[in-house]
Each structure stands twice: as structure tokens, then as C-alpha cells.
Structure 1
């Protein structure tokens, strides 16, 4: 496996960011194009319409020996047309650049026809939850995802890796495989351990399940940690904003600050056993550290776990 960075967490100008990746012996970059990212390292509209600008942007990366492993357009295309439009343009750009893998999230529909607010169902009771799920899956998500898959195919995209994020219709292996069964093998998972940790799952077991179906399409190297003072009396569900980290039940932390290198070594070993041998893309969201220190600390742990000198 190779080390990559999801670069939108690096608060640096584009070419300085590329130089940082080279200095840190990173092999590839994952570029966010918009929606829930500010997309600091790309102007999606400009890249799609201006071939000269697109070539200059891409050449700066390739001249440094870096590979563009994926484009990331995470948003909610099932609920918001403006986020579907960014998704379409990202697929179009992927076709122009020859990028074969897109990272995104599944999206989350509203709870019923006529509603505008996405609803994440996490329990089987009260009984109306089943009506909501039936509407979300069968009337919205599956038909729309068939269209999304067709758009991706038309642009030469081969894999869409869905992140297992909360407040999404696909948030774990089971829901990923459900969508995959309905729309085909274009869809797999961007396995992000940090989210499974706070949802009570085991990323190592998740890798085994997904590996049985050949459905690990990407890995985010991202960590999270339960905060004992708050999760033990209250449980892990927490709606406080992430910048209230001193009072939350769990937090995103630098890789190694939640689970040490020994855990990450086992995780990567099982991921390899499960058939994945592609990029591990650092996503750093530890607000207790500076941007630079958080990346450097995380990269040290990932390099040790991946056995990269």
C-alpha cells in the first residue's frame, strides 16, 4: 500500500502543498473538488472549462512525481441539486484527467415525499422508521444511484468509494453492500476507521466483511477517540459541534492519538489479507493540534504501520 493525503486538510497554497507531500515521502494525493470541502487546491469550474489551466494544474503535480489517486466530491447529491451538480462536474473532470476512482458519500434523502430535510434513521422504533427507510432506499436512493453510476461510467470512472460516515444512508459495510447489490460493483467502500470507532464497530472486522465481496475501494487513514469523562455516562451519540472538543463524547484525533501503531499495523495487515493494496489517504481533523503538527504526527504513525521508510 502507498501513503497519500486528502489535501484539503493541509492549509497551504497548491504548489506548497505539493512540495510538502514530496518532502514527507507521500506517493499520491486525493483532491477534494467541493461540496463539503472548501476545495482549497482546485477550482472545479475552471478545471472543467479551461484546458490550459487544467494542464498547468496537473503538470505541477506530475512534475513532482505525485499521482492523483482520486477526486473527492463528498456531499449529499440525493437531497440537493447543487451538490449533485458538483458530483457531475467531478466525474467530468475525472474523465478529462483519466482518474478512475471517486471518493464521495452516499447522500441521505428526506424522510418522505414533500419533505426537504435529510433524516438519518438509527433505530427500528417507533414503527414509522420502517416507512422512512423504505421511502429513502426504494423510492429515492436506488433509482438516483443507478443514474449516478451511469454518469460515472460515461466518464470512464471505474470505482466510487463511499465513505462510511454517519448521517448518510450508507454508513457501514452492511448498508454499502445493500446499495452495491442494487446498483452494481461500481460502488464500494472508502473504509474510514474513525467513523466506525465512534459508532461502536470494529474496522478490522469491517475489512474482512468487505474483502469477502471485493468491496474495499479506498482507505482513509483517520483516527478518533472516545472521551471517557463524557461517553461513559452519556453514550457515544453526541450532537455538540466538533470545535467543542473538550466537552464531547468522542473526537477526531491525529492518527495514533486514539489507536496506536500496533492497532494500525494489524488493521493494514488484515486489509491486505482482504485484497486491498492501494492508497491509504491521511485525513487529519485533530483540532487540538496545529494543522502542521497534526499532519506530521499522523504521517509518522502511518509510515510506521505501513512499514514505509
Structure 2
């Protein structure tokens, strides 16, 4: 495995300054947002698509530093039935076209979340039915039908344009949010170009065990995010794991995204990466630093140090 960095954490830096910053940590691969809701500061998709000279100069900056693109990220909700959702869907297609132009064969994205019915415009994440199955199930059935139809077309588009791996992140408020829902999508679409971006932070926040999750995803892990979550003592014990508060409101939350090693200890991370490799993945581990309990510099340094000590090589 090799370490990469999701570069949105350095959104205040120019493209070249960002590359130098990443290189200063001893990291030679970058995951950059080229679509969706990310900052897109370091990957101006429209400009690169329109100007061959800019595209060559862009790649040259990587080459002269001995660096490479791990993946292009286009995370968003393309199934939101509104103008914004249409823009997100278009940005995902544009990301694929740019990846083809840059020679990148892997994209990272999310599955999306439709509205509750054909008459609705609000994405609706069904997480529990309890005794309400009679009126919840039609919503779930509708959402899976919409999701499957969209992904069959998008997977085919990706194949046509040289993408070999689509790594879907199991993200809250998305149809694919855990191993079970991932397999439902892959099997319903029927295309193994679709794999998972295994991000343990989300699974920890659900109360799952990402090590066991990795075993359940054998052969389908196409990308890994190095990201940790801490279940907050004295908060989760009272309120449980669900939390709607803003991620910046760290002191009031039941759990927080934290620098790697500040949630799970290094022994846990060593086992996690060992099992991930046992399950067939030996690619990049991309640090996604979203710890708002400390400075960006401290969070990146802490995480890089922890990941360099624990990833399987």
C-alpha cells in the first residue's frame, strides 16, 4: 500500500504549492476533486478539458516532482431531483472525461440518494422501518429502482471512457452506506467496474466494525480513505450514535471525525490494514483529514505519522 492525500485539506494553496506541500510529507500521490461538491481548487475540470496546453502543463508539474494522481474524486448526490442534482450528475460525467484525458483510470464518488417518490424533490434516507414497513417499503423500492437505472447508464459511460474502477464511498445519507447496501447496488447493476471506497470513519460512526466490514467486502475494495472517528465519551452513552449537528460543533457531538490515531489506536489500524490487504487490496490509502478539533497542520501531521506506521506494505 502507498499513502496519498485528498488535497481539499489544502484548498487555500495553489496547485503547485499544494503539490510541494504534499511532497514535504513524503507523499507522492494525490486524490483531487474534479466534480461534485468538493472544493475543486486543484483540478479545474472545465479549463483542463478546453485547453490541451494547460492539460500537458498540469501533468508536467506532477512528473517533475515524481508524483501521480491516485484518483479523481467527484463525490455528490447525482440522484437529487432538482437543478443542483442535474449539475452534480453532469459534473460526474465531466470528471470521467477528464480522467480519460489525464490517463486516470479510477474515480471516487458516492451512490446518490433519490427523493422519496416521483412526486417528491427532497432526498429521503430511510434508516429504520420498525412497524412502519407498509408505507416505508414503497419508498425504498422506488429509490432502489431509480438508483439502479442511473448507475447502469453511468457504469456503461465509465467503461466507454477508460475507467476501470468506480470506488463508491459508503457515506451517510446515501443509498450505499454500508457493505450490505453496496452489494445490493453492485448486484442490481451487474457490473464489477463498481467497487467500494472503504472509509472506516463512517462505519465507526454507525457502530459497525470496519475490520469485519473489510472481510465482507472481499474482492470489491477499490480504494481506501485513511480517516478516523472518535465516539465521544459521555455523549454517545446518553444520546446514541445518530447526530444531526454540524461537524464543526465538535464539543456537542456524539462522535467526531478525528486525525488518524485519535479515535482508534495504532494497533487497531495495523489490524485494519492487514485485513484489508488479506481481502485483496494493495493500493493507495488516501488521507482525508477532516478533524476540526485541531489545526489543519496538526491533523495532517498526526494522520500521516499514524498511517505511515500502520499501512501494510
Whether TM exceeds 0.5 here: the answer is yes
The corresponding residue for 1:144 is 150
1:196 maps onto 2:203 in alignment: yes
The corresponding residue for 2:269 is 264
The corresponding residue for 1:274 is 279
The corresponding residue for 1:242 is 247
The corresponding residue for 1:18 is 19
Runs of 4+ with deviation above 6 angstroms: none
- Contact map agreement 2:224 2:284 (CA 8 A) in 1: yes
- Contact map agreement 2:277 2:312 (CA 8 A) in 1: no
**Structure 1 stretch displaced more, 244-253 or 42-51:** 42-51
- Contact map agreement 1:91 1:157 (CA 8 A) in 2: yes
Report the secondary structure of 1:229's partner residue.
coil
Report the secondary structure of 2:257's partner residue.
strand
| 1:299 CA displacement | 0.2
Q: Distance in 2 between matches of 1:90 and 1:234?
A: 40
RMSD of aligned alpha carbons: 1.1
Query: Residue 216 of structure 2 is aligned with which of 209, 213, 232?
Result: 209
Q: Distance in 2 between matches of 1:116 and 1:48?
A: 32
Aligned length: 305
The corresponding residue for 2:308 is 303
The corresponding residue for 2:72 is 71
Q: Distance in 1 between matches of 2:121 and 2:57?
A: 41
Q: Distance in 2 between matches of 1:258 and 1:44?
A: 35
Report the secondary structure of 1:228's partner residue.
coil
Give ranges in structure 2 of 5+ residues lacking alignment. Answer: none
| 1:34 CA displacement | 3.0
Deviation track 1:42-99 (CA, whole Å, cap 9, x = no partner) reads 2111111111111111211121111111000000111210000100100000111111
Q: Distance in 1 between matches of 2:250 and 2:162?
A: 41
Q: Distance in 1 between matches of 2:15 and 2:182?
A: 33
| 1:124 CA displacement | 2.1
Query: Residue 175 of structure 2 is aligned with which of 160, 169, 175?
Result: 169
The corresponding residue for 1:225 is 230
Query: Residue 180 of structure 1 is aligned with which of 182, 186, 190?
Result: 186
Q: Distance in 2 between matches of 1:51 and 1:72?
A: 21
Deviation track 1:174-210 (CA, whole Å, cap 9, x = no partner) reads 1111111122101110000000001011110111111
**Structure 1 stretch displaced more, 278-287 or 57-66:** 57-66
Report the secondary structure of 1:38's partner residue.
coil
| 1:307 CA displacement | 6.2
Deviation track 1:73-132 (CA, whole Å, cap 9, x = no partner) reads 000111210000100100000111111100000000000012111000001232222111
| 1:27 CA displacement | 2.7
Give TM-score, length-normalised by structure 1: 0.97
| 1:33 CA displacement | 1.3
The corresponding residue for 2:108 is 103
| 1:143 CA displacement | 0.6
Give ranges in structure 1 of 5+ residues lacking alignment. Answer: none
- Contact map agreement 1:265 1:305 (CA 8 A) in 2: yes
The corresponding residue for 1:50 is 51
Q: Distance in 2 between matches of 1:154 and 1:307?
A: 33
